[in-house]
Amino acid sequence: MDQRFKSVNTFLIAANIAVYLLQLSSRGAVNDHFALWPPQAEAYGYPSFQFWQLITYGFLHDTRSIAHLFFNMFALFMFGPEIERLFGSKRYAVYYFACVIGAALMHLIIVTTGNLLPAPVVGASGGVFGLLLAFGMAWPNRKLMLLFPPIPMPAWLFVTLYGILELYLGITQTVQGVAHFAHLGGMATGFVLIRYWRAQARPR
């Protein structure tokens, strides 16, 4: 069998698409149980937080627009294969899910300490931003192209500017309905994990 069809990255893309189709047919039931709900949500009459949501939210997407799914899967398709070859499939899976969980925890901390109104979070963006960070650290001088505007720049600069933009949007709440601090949580988790692995690999 072609190795591409046995990769963790291929499984992630297929699983996200399958879950999206399940969401479309469930009339919100999937989101009620598997989206990421903050601990205070139940007090407002929303579904309660459950520990498995720290992972399951990363396979759900906004069913009101297929663009949410498309751009996350496009990023997985573009960055995932090279990073999986670099890390190996087992470490790649650990890295991706650690970034998903780290993104969820960062979001919950911000929502809880900021006394914000509870809302469900869905999307693979936490893992995707972790992959983007890993790509920038592994190949800092590789040229990446922005979509709007189409400006080529080295990966390290692309990742840095993206992180700064997410921080700005998160602080100012310029774009409503987007969990910007979850994106930053995915990047931060990826950075810590990569630095830890690099330290472990150094000869003592």
Confidence of residue 138 (pLDDT cuts 50, 70, 90): very high
The whole-number pLDDT of residue 1 equals: 38
**How many structural domains compose the chain?**
1
DSSP alpha helices (H): ranges in 88-117? 89-113
* Count of Cβ atoms closer than 10 Å to residue 117 Cβ: 11
Phi–psi pair at 153, nearest 5 degrees: -155, 155
Question: What is the rounded average pLDDT of the residues 72-100?
Answer: 96
Predicted local confidence at residue 2, as pLDDT: 45
Q: For residue 117, what are its two tokens?
A: 């109104």
Provide mean pLDDT across the span 15-24.
95
Contact between 198 and 172 (Cβ < 8 Å): no
Range of the domain at 137: 3-201
In our burial notation (b when 16+ CB lie closer than 10 A, e otherwise), range 178-198 reads: bbbbbbbbbbbbbbebbeeee
The number of beta carbons lying within 10 Å of the beta carbon of residue 80 is 24
Token pair 């294969």: residue: 81
Contact at 8 Å (CB) between 133 and 155?
no
- Give 67-78 pLDDT, tens digit per residue: 999 999 999 999
Residue 71 sits in a domain whose CATH number is 1.20.1540.10
Can you give the pTM of this predicted structure?
Answer: 0.91
Rounded alpha-carbon distances, angstroms, from residue 200 to 37, 81, 94: 35, 24, 16
Tell me the percentage of the chain whose pLDDT exceeds 90: 61
Bridge partners, 145 (sequence order): 152
Mean pLDDT of 144-163: 83
Helix axes 125-138, 155-172, angle to 10 degrees: 150
Per-residue pLDDT tens digits for 30-62 = 988 999 999 888 877 888 899 999 999 999 999
Residue 147 pLDDT > 70: no
Beta bridge partners of 121: 36
